[in-house]
A and B are shown apart, each in its own frame.
Chain A
Amino acid sequence: MLNEEEHRLLKLIAEDCRLTPDELSVQTGLTTDYIRERIINWEKEKVIVCYQPMINWSRTGEEKVSALIEVRVLPQRGYGFDKIAKRLQKFPEIKALFLMSGGYDLSLLIEGKTMQDVALFVAEKLAPLEHIQSTATHFVLRRYKQDGVELLGQEETLQRLMVSP
């Protein structure tokens, strides 16, 4: 379990991973040495998995298609869903993979350049895999929010007074 200081620090890194240990030190009151050591440990422990920016590809003009795929799987004795999941996570087209409760078993987020790419991946790579019973593909039409960040315009533009008591 994280203590209060660690929680504060990790939350700040999660919000902006570009902050240097010195900047983090100023904003948290923790020492730079402590911060460096924590970060190194978290990297080793895979608490911090990677540092990557969130890109809104739709604003780059570059075409990208995403689809959420519901997959029904026949679980394997002794492995449950893990064996098939391990295999699926190797596909670079699969950006996210979750085991779900409810009407289907695995949820996949797939990215491709075109709808054709995604359709081909499902038809040729995913559906024919052993133990996969069925798939249902739902294409993403528009992203409004991702990882807690609102992507749709600046609805909440502040119009505060420049000076107030």
Chain B
Amino acid sequence: MNRYLAAHVAGLPPSGIRKFFDLVATMKDVISLGVGEPDFVTPWAVRESGIFSLEEGQTMYTSNAGLLELREELSHHLSVTLGLSYNPSNEILITAGASEAVDLVMRAVLNPGDVVLVPDPSYVSYAPCAILAGASVRYVPTHAKEDFRLRVEDLNRVVTPKAKVLVLSYPNNPTGAIMRREDLIPIADFVAKHDLLVLADDIYSDLTYDGRHVSFASLPGMRDRTLFVSGFSKSYAMTGWRIGYVAGHPGLIEGLTRIHQYTMLCAPIMGQIAALEALRSATEAKNDMVTAYDRRRRLMVHGFRQMGLDCFEPLGAFYVFPDISKTHLSSETFAEELLKEEKVAVVPGTAFGPSGEGYIRCSYAYSTEQLQEALKRITRFVERRLSKQNNQ
């Protein structure tokens, strides 16, 4: 029945993650470091408010934009935490996860033939969403030697007159890189010069380990050029609730809402109520999770460096992205052989773009015990590969 698939869907390459997921699914007793979601359960006060909303019979649609109370609280939260100012009545749209927000942005602003600039490596959905919207993608390579930060020199190499959108996804999945204010300022000049719109996916903005996140939208003159995307999944361990949001200029938000109202109608109400509670009462729980991630982050970086591998120190999100090139294996081969020999699942760096070759993504959203066991197994694997190299 594949002949019924539209050409642009049939031509969409399968996700590198999906392929690896299928392989892992066939094996038993695997320790997985392959998951891109928190290991914590949603804080109890938040779950309890979701339960209470159901008891109260809150099971209807909300307005397309989402509960006004949630948008108001969010507006306040963004102002206090990131210095951003958005009018809750027409500049914030609540979506079914940040993923929907990314899709909406691409569909609302791109025309066929437009070009989207995507940092490489980065989260898997930007390029497919851009392609589904009829645009094409130009990857902007980022490098370990520059802490995987986006550089104007690299942007200049790939920009075309057709470029319309720049994706900024920091803290970054899979590298854990962050962009500081001084890194963002030249990007802002570049964006203004090329008249670009920025899709700022700040979903990991609460998970930083060396100072507070700086949002691109907070830079002078960048607010109206930015569609600020975020959500509750990572910060509050609420992946399954599917609550995200996008904030920006009312003219753009109005366009996004037009698609959202026909395709999603609204985000689930119980999730919205729980999200409201998260903003009101889960800050301490969130901070505790950040503290735990920070400890695990140090453990992982130390573990990989002990193996003799280069490992960039991630300052955000919950991933490490060690350089496995010393083993002379490709990312995909490393991940496959590690899985077969030591039953540890990691994700090949190439699943996140061509610049991911030579790296693997390891999530540290796991207990310390699991991470230690996984590190022990990876160490055995790497030692075998390195000694093989030395014997050749």
Interface string of B26-43 (1 = CB under 8 A from A): 000010101111010100
Chain A residue at minimum C-beta to C-beta distance from B346:
A163
Interchain CB contact (< 8 A) of A160 among B25, B39, B298, B347:
B39
A165/B123 in contact, CB under 8 A: yes
Question: Which chain A residues border B58 with CB–CB below 8 Å?
Answer: none
Chain B residue at minimum C-beta to C-beta distance from A16:
B368
Interchain CB contact (< 8 A) of A163 among B17, B291, B298:
B17
Q: With an 8 A cutoff between CB atoms, is B295 at the interface?
A: yes
B291/A8 in contact, CB under 8 A: yes
Q: With an 8 A cutoff between CB atoms, is B302 at the interface?
A: yes
Instruction: Name which of A158, A162, A163 has the most chain B CB atoms within 10 A of its CB.
Output: A163
B37/A28 in contact, CB under 8 A: no
Question: Which chain B residues border A116 with CB–CB below 8 Å?
Answer: none
Q: With an 8 A cutoff between CB atoms, is A27 at the interface?
A: yes
Q: With an 8 A cutoff between CB atoms, is B299 at the interface?
A: yes
B21/A162 in contact, CB under 8 A: yes
Report the bound CA distance from A27 to B367 in whole Å: 13
Report the bound CA distance from A28 to B15 in whole Å: 36
Q: With an 8 A cutoff between CB atoms, is A63 at the interface?
A: no
Size class of the B contact interface (CB-based, 8 Å): 20 to 34
Question: Which chain A residues border B345 with CB–CB below 8 Å?
Answer: 162-163
Question: Which chain A residues border B245 with CB–CB below 8 Å?
Answer: none
Report the minimum CB–CB distance from B380 to chain A (whole Å).
19
Q: Contact residues of B with A, CB < 8 Å?
A: 15, 17, 20-21, 24-25, 30, 32, 34-37, 39, 41, 123-125, 173, 291, 295-296, 298-299, 302, 345, 347, 351, 368
B298/A29 in contact, CB under 8 A: yes
A26/B32 in contact, CB under 8 A: no
Whether A28 touches B17, Cβ cut-off 8 Å, given contacts A162-B30, A162-B35, A164-B37, is: no
Q: How many A-B residue pairs have CB under 8 A?
A: 54
Report the minimum CB–CB distance from A5 to chain B (whole Å).
12
Report the bound CA distance from A160 to B125 in whole Å: 20
Chain B residue at minimum C-beta to C-beta distance from A27:
B295
30 contacts between A and B (CB under 8 A): A16-B368, A27-B298, A27-B299, A27-B368, A28-B295, A28-B298, A29-B298, A156-B41, A158-B39, A158-B41, A160-B35, A160-B37, A161-B21, A162-B21, A162-B24, A162-B25, A162-B30, A162-B34, A162-B35, A162-B345, A163-B21, A163-B24, A163-B34, A163-B347, A164-B17, A164-B34, A164-B35, A164-B37, A165-B124, A165-B351
Whether A163 touches B32, Cβ cut-off 8 Å, given contacts A8-B291, A156-B41, A158-B41, is: yes
Instruction: Name which of A27, A29, A160, A165 has the most chain B CB atoms within 10 A of its CB.
Output: A165
Report the minimum CB–CB distance from B315 to chain A (whole Å).
12
Chain A interface secondary structure, helix, strand, loop or mixed?
A: loop
Q: Contact residues of A with B, CB < 8 Å?
A: 8, 11-12, 16, 26-29, 156, 158, 160-165
Question: Which chain B residues border A164 with CB–CB below 8 Å?
Answer: 17, 21, 34-37
Question: Which chain A residues border B35 with CB–CB below 8 Å?
Answer: 160-164
A165/B298 in contact, CB under 8 A: no
Chain A residue at minimum C-beta to C-beta distance from B173:
A165
Chain A residue at minimum C-beta to C-beta distance from B33:
A163
Report the bound CA distance from A12 to B36 in whole Å: 25
Report the minimum CB–CB distance from A11 to chain B (whole Å).
8
Report the bound CA distance from A164 to B20 in whole Å: 9
Question: Which chain B residues border A28 with CB–CB below 8 Å?
Answer: 295, 298
Report the bound CA distance from A164 to B18 in whole Å: 8
Question: Which chain B residues border A158 with CB–CB below 8 Å?
Answer: 39, 41
Report the bound CA distance from A163 to B351 in whole Å: 12
Report the minimum CB–CB distance from B290 to chain A (whole Å).
12
Report the bound CA distance from A12 to B299 in whole Å: 13
Report the bound CA distance from A138 to B368 in whole Å: 39
Chain B residue at minimum C-beta to C-beta distance from A26:
B302
